[in-house]
Amino acid sequence: MLGLGNSITSGSYSSWSPEDVDNLTLWLSANTNILADQDNGNNTISHSSNAGDMQDDDQINRWNANGSTSINAIQTTQADKPRWETDANDLGAVNFKAGLKFMDLDTQINCTGVCSFVFRLKPTDLSAVRAIVGSTNTEFFQFQSNAQIRIKVDNNQVNFTELSETFITTKYHIITLVRNSSDQWTAYVKVLGAGSTEKTWGDANQTQAGTFTVTNLGCKANDSANFNGFMKDVLVYNGTALSSAERADMYDYLINQEY
């Protein structure tokens, strides 16, 4: 059960935006700029979250950039398109259904130094390895199990293994991965609900230099270790290591969204 650990308290959600932090490179936001071009019967449609006409199991071909960012997630192969979900708890999320779906970024992200990744997601099946982002089988960030997450940079791995808690397949989590100016990686996890606090997941400040390349969302290499579950928000800061205060503001911002 998640919910222990050091506390990160509330920030200033009402006036804060992810764009208040420098180097926001990728911002995919819940219920925003999500487009579907096929329905559940493979009929051609033109639905969008912005228009409010998305239907259950619509097939998503684009999750477009939010704010001043410009990198989009796309999928043109019918069998690989994630789906729209109308259940209240998952409304606004992109459903990487049955561990068979993924999306491509239309611009590659190369993180050579300081960087941060933020995901608001719900993994629904952790019985196998499930990648969150990546580019190849040697460059990824993924769930290894319900207690371990792993990043591989230039084929060198760093494991974040928690001994006292596990990820919950019925809950949304905010997972933040940060590399500082000393090339040290730390993973932070906050489960949503029940008043939980931020937890440093496994060992902090694990050193691994190199270029972390991201081209895929919901897998590492195409159709490899596909994520199974829902994603509501994905943010990448290429050039900024989020501070504890910035993470607190991020939690407030994401938790207080309508979706």
pTM value?
A: 0.94
SS3 21: coil
Q: Which residues of 94-121 are buried (b: 16+ CB within 10 A; e: fewer)?
A: bbbbebebbbbbeeebebeebbbbbbbb
Cβ neighbors of 243 (< 8 A, separation 6 or more) are none
Residue 57 has pLDDT above 80, yes or no: yes
pLDDT at 238: 98
pLDDT tens sequence across 143-200: 999 999 999 999 999 999 999 999 999 999 999 999 999 999 999 999 998 678 999 9
> Positive or negative, the Cα torsion across 2, 3, 5, 11?
positive
- Token pair 């397949």 in the structure block, residue: 169
- The answer to whether 92 touches 103, Cβ cutoff 8 Å, is no
Question: Which is more confident, 232 or 4?
Answer: 232
The residue with greater pLDDT, 229 or 194, is 229
User: Which tens digit of pLDDT belongs to each residue from 97-141?
Assistant: 998 999 999 999 999 999 999 999 999 999 999 999 999 999 999
Per-residue pLDDT for 13 more than 90? no
